[in-house]
Amino acid sequence: MEAKFINPYTDFGFKKLFGEEASKDLLIDFLNTILPASDRIKELQLTNPENLPEYPDGRRAVFDIHCRNERGEAFIVEMQKAYQHYFKDRALFYSTFPLQQQAPQGEWDFQLKKVYFVAVLDFLYDEAEERQKFSRHIHLKDQDGELFSDKLEFIFLQMPLFNKAENELANHKDKWLYFLKNLVRFEDIPAVLREPIFTLAFATADLAAMNPRERDAYAASLKIYRDNVNVIDSAYQKGVAQGIEQGIEQVIEQGIEQGIEQGEIKQQLAIAKKSKAAGIAPTLIAQITGLTESEIAAL
């Protein structure tokens, strides 16, 4: 059955929901659910990220929106489908550009506006510690955990760790996460999401309300998404198969090694028993077999 609403994990879907002037209120409301109360946004201006370099790994699995709030603070909001090596390093690298762009021509006292890097991730980090944390807020802190600077903040949301059902949603943040996680599967607006902001979100995501050009753009974006999913799934299955094969080989090799080792031990014990029965000195038996004198005495 064809989906009624767009998939927010596609480039088109993510930017349709959060990256257009008409849907700016959705982005503001979503960000305000994950930001501290002191950092709440009243207004956002979408900015052109043309000064930022393109991602070297392509833009098919990483979609981003750049904006500034009424205080001039910068936001990079990402949706990322697939795990990549050095993900945190890349987040650090791209967060430095909005910092550097604040430098004016001429004299400057280096006072910075805050930069937020918000990533909605459809994968888990390859680190056991972080797999247990759905939401991570990261600041620059010293060795005692005291804040060094509040000018750079990272917020990572690992969506696979959000598994709440409709009757378990406790707050507005939960509702947004439930909306994003399940949007493509909804056939109608759930009762728990019948609020003005989500009514707007569903209207924005409604495929039937889009014009032919938008539907074609979404279809192309959805194809890229599905291709990426197939590549990831194929790589995973290949990795599982290779792991099983390697595991079998290791078990066989270990069994052979253990068998040889056990055979050698049996042979040593047999020699020691015969030598002891023949009245050969324990010291000499130990030299011949490699057993200790106490082991020989126990035979």
Band (256; pLDDT cuts 50, 70, 90): very low
Residue 58 has pLDDT above 50, yes or no: no
**pLDDT band at 152; cut points 50, 70, 90:** very high
256 and 206 in a common domain:
no
Q: Is 51 found in the same domain as 137?
A: yes
93 within a domain of the structure (yes/no): yes
Q: Are residues 182 and 277 in the same domain?
A: no
Is 230 inside any structural domain? no
Please check whether residue 233 lies inside any domain of the structure.
no
Higher per-residue confidence, 205 vs 1:
205
Please check whether residues 61 and 140 belong to one and the same domain: yes
pLDDT of residue 107: 86
Residue 169 has pLDDT above 90, yes or no: yes
Do 155 and 272 share a domain, yes or no?
A: no
Structure confidence by residue, pLDDT tens digits, 157-167: 999 899 999 99
pLDDT of residue 60 exceeding 60: no
The pLDDT of residue 208 is 92
Q: How many C-alpha atoms does 129 have within 13 Å on its Cβ side? A: 1
pLDDT in the model for residue 124:
80
pLDDT score at 234: 52
Residue that wins the pLDDT comparison between 170 and 242: 170
Which of 156, 176, 210 terminates a domain? The answer is: 210
Instruction: Summarize the confidence of residues 85-110 as an average pLDDT.
Output: 86
- Indicate whether 128 belongs to any domain: yes
Identify whether 166 is part of a domain: yes
Q: Are residues 45 and 164 in the same domain?
A: yes
What is the per-residue pLDDT for 56? Answer: 47
Shared domain for 46 and 109, answered yes or no, is yes
The region of weakest confidence among 220-229, 269-278, 290-299 is 269-278
Q: Looking at per-residue confidence, does 47 or 166 come out higher?
A: 166
Q: pLDDT digits over 222-247, tens only? A: 888 777 666 555 554 555 556 555 65
Residue 80 is assigned to a structural domain of this protein: yes
User: Is residue 236 in some structural domain?
Assistant: no
Does the residue 86 lie in any domain?
yes
Residue 57 has pLDDT above 60, yes or no: no
Q: What is the mean pLDDT of residues 46-55?
A: 58
* Domain end marker among 176, 210, 244: 210
Report how many domains make up the chain: 2
Q: Which domain holds residue 272?
A: 252-297
Examine the domain organization and report whether 50 and 168 are in the same domain. Answer: yes
Instruction: Give the domain-ending residue among 210, 239, 261.
Output: 210
In the prediction, which pLDDT does 38 show? 84
